[in-house]
């Protein structure tokens, strides 16, 4: 059974022109509201079978004016996204027609949905848990197929299941502790109980650690591998960038900044999302020595997950090149020897003494050769660490990561408490806190403000 809520409506497709636009309604009155504006002979949506779609017109009941020709999907609770009655009106895509249909349903008993309210209802009605609701948001924002896969997996409840198992183990232990305290059968019950707690704490901590290890990879999948392409002028940086950006590989996202809009460029290399950082700045400044001195560039370098350092092998190494090598020694770095189509002038032996020879890739962007191995190299670097296994459960959400760290800290308190001989009932409190913190990930223990804040980040109509 769904909880009692009013009926909400919103445009669920992106703003702008499209082949169709969808106005979605959810709530007890969804069918009744739709019937007031829908006309197809004598047909009443309230009477049609669930999960069917119907042709007809949207009519303004005030003046009988036809607003749009539509297809209307009717889905009755409980088998819907929100677990409420849902009606989706598929309109012709123009902004005006979709908006007119929305206005009309609002005048006829529906209320305009807040951002994320559909998903919030799915959560409140028990259809999905909080980490799944967040996955819906990630799915909308996913920038590559891998990020999308990650979100889909979370939507499947992969992470939730893992967290639930941990919580139930903790709960079992806490119950056992209670029993031991209430019915001490043995004299050494205190020792036994302490042992139980500390063993469980270590065990849960190990699982949390394992999850946290996937965090940086998960974060990169979500947000992209921050990548800086650097090198002296004319070595081929822009050519490389353009090559990576060409065709459908490029995804350009506009992110509303506080003072101005920043355009971030994403490229998708073998499913690894690269977020190109401050490339404009690095591309445009001519004087590298000065550029490296510039705080902003240093910042960009220190924040880069990956540096693509480009050299022109048709020229000898210069001091500027050496300086760039030095400046990026602490970065994950791929060294690109470009312009392989031209005669060799660069001393490879010297370069190999300065950088890891394995990190060198030879390319000619002009003739498009060697790019394959560059892409292999990027993918290998990314998947070198922990996983790349498709089945790993990733944590990528900042909120989840913070909660896992807090839960880990609570477990440390348990362990330290027991080891320093604290009474069991005090240690129990930390164990319970760990249980609570994990519950915040799935939304099993969560406060109202958090919910409001989380769901408000969604886009309208979701």
Give the interface with ligand GDP as residue ranges (CB under 6 A): 231, 233-239, 283, 338-339, 341-342, 364-366
Q: What is the CA radius of gyration of the chain?
A: 29
Report the residue number, 232 or 405, with the smaller CB distance to ligand GDP. Answer: 232
**Closest CB to ligand GDP among 13 and 314?**
314
**Minimal distance in Å, beta carbon 403 to ligand GDP?**
43
Which residues, in sequence order, are bridge partners of residue 251?
A: 266
List, edge to edge, every strand of the sheet that includes 225-231. Answer: 250-256, 261-269, 272-276, 225-231, 306-312, 333-338, 360-362
> What is the Cα–Cα distance from 415 to 431, expressed in whole angstroms?
10
β 261-269/250-256 pair status: antiparallel
State which residue, 161 or 344, has the beta carbon closest to ligand GDP. Answer: 344
The distance of closest approach from Cβ of residue 429 to ligand GDP in the complex, given in angstroms and rounded to an integer, is: 60
Shortest Å, Cβ 251 to ligand GDP: 21
Q: Give me the residue label for tokens 């669920």.
A: 12
Nearer Cβ to ligand GDP, position 218 or 231? 231
| Nearest residue (CB) to ligand GDP, 236 versus 443 | 236
Minimum distance from residue 362 beta carbon to ligand GDP (Å)? 10
Q: State the sign of the Cα–Cα–Cα–Cα dihedral 344, 348, 354, 359.
A: positive
In the complex, least distance from residue 287 CB atom to ligand GDP, rounded to whole angstroms: 13
Closest contact distance (angstroms) between CB of 281 and ligand GDP is 13
Distance in angstroms (rounded) separating the CA atoms of residues 121 and 124: 5
User: Cβ of residue 235: shortest distance to ligand GDP, in angstroms?
Assistant: 4
What secondary structure does DSSP assign to 23-84, as a single string?
Answer: EEEESTTHHHHHHHHEESTT--GGGSPSSEEEEEEEEETTTTEEEEEEEEEEE-TTSSSSSS
The smaller minimum CB distance to ligand GDP, of residues 33 and 374, is found at 374
Query: At closest approach, how far in Å is the CB of 305 from ligand GDP?
Result: 21
Choice between 176 and 314, CB closer to ligand GDP? 314
- Least distance in angstroms from the C-beta of 338 to ligand GDP: 5
Supply the minimum distance, in Å, between the C-beta of residue 331 and ligand GDP. Answer: 18
For the chain, first and last CA: distance in Å? Answer: 21
Closer of 342 and 398 to ligand GDP (Cβ) = 342
CB 118 within 8 A of CB 82: yes
Distance from CA of residue 65 to its chain's centroid?
A: 44
Closer of 66 and 342 to ligand GDP (Cβ): 342
Distance of CA 281 to the CA centre of its chain: 27
Separation of alpha carbons 80 and 74, rounded Å:
10
Of 277 and 365, the one with the shorter C-beta distance to ligand GDP is 365
Spatial distance between the Cα atoms of 408 and 203, rounded to a whole number of angstroms: 11
Task: Using the minimum distance from each CB to ligand GDP, give the nearer residue, 17 or 286.
Answer: 286
Cβ-Cβ contacts under 8 Å for 342 (sequence gap 6 or more): 313, 314
Shortest spacing between CB 273 and ligand GDP, in angstroms: 22
Phi (first) and psi of residue 37, to 5 degrees: -115, -5
Q: Which of 43, 18, 116, 127 has its CA nearest to residue 77?
A: 127
CA distance 437 to 428: 14
Nearest C-alpha neighbor of 224 from the set 317, 104, 305, 331: 305
d(CA 178, CA 173): 9
């Amino acid at each position: 059974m769904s909880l009692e809520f009013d009926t909400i409506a919103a445009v669920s497709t992106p703003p702008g022109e499209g082949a169709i636009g969808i106005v979605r309604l959810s709530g007890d009155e969804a069918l009744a509201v739709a019937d007031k504006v829908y006309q197809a002979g004598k047909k009443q949506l309230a009477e049609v079978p669930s999960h069917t779609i119907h042709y007809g017109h949207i009519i303004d009941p005030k003046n009988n004016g036809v607003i749009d020709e539509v297809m209307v999907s009717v889905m009755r609770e409980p088998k819907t996204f929100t677990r409420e009655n849902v009606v989706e009106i598929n309109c012709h895509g123009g902004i005006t027609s979709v908006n007119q249909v929305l206005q009309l349903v609002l005048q006829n008993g529906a209320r305009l949905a807040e951002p994320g309210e559909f998903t919030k209802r799915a959560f409140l009605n028990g259809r999905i848990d909080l980490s799944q609701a967040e996955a819906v948001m990630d799915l909308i924002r996913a920038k590559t197929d891998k990020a999308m896969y990650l979100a889909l997996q979370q939507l499947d409840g992969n992470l939730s299941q893992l967290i639930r198992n941990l919580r139930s183990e903790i709960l079992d232990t806490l119950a056992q502790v209670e029993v031991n305290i209430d019915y001490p059968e043995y004299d050494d019950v205190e020792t036994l109980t302490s042992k139980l707690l500390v063993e469980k704490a270590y065990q849960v901590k190990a699982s949390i650690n394992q999850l946290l290890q996937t965090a940086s990879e998960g974060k990169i999948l979500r947000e992209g591998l921050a990548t800086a392409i650097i090198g002296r002028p004319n070595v081929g940086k822009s050519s490389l960038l353009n090559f990576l950006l060409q065709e459908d590989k490029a995804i350009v996202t506009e992110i509303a900044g506080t003072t101005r809009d920043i355009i971030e460029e994403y490229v998708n290399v073998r499913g690894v999302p690269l977020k190109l950082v401050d490339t404009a700045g690095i591309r445009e400044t001519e004087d590298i020595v000065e550029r490296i001195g510039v705080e902003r560039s240093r910042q960009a370098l220190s924040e880069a997950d990956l540096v693509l350092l480009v050299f022109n092998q048709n020229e000898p190494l210069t001091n500027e090149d050496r300086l760039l090598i030095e400046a990026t020694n602490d970065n994950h770095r791929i060294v690109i020897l470009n312009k392989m189509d031209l005669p060799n002038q660069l001393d490879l032996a010297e370069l190999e003494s300065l950088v890891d020879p394995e990190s060198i890739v030879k390319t000619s962007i002009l003739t498009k050769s060697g790019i394959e191995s560059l892409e292999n190299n990027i993918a290998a670097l990314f998947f070198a660490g922990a996983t790349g296994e498709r089945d790993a459960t990733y944590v990528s959400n900042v909120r989840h990561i913070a909660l896992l760290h807090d839960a880990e800290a609570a477990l440390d308190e348990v362990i330290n408490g027991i080891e320093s001989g604290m009474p069991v009932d005090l240690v129990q409190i930390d164990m319970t806190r760990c249980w609570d913190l994990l519950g915040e990930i799935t939304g099993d223990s969560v406060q109202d403000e958090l919910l409001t804040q989380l769901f408000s980040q969604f886009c309208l109509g979701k």
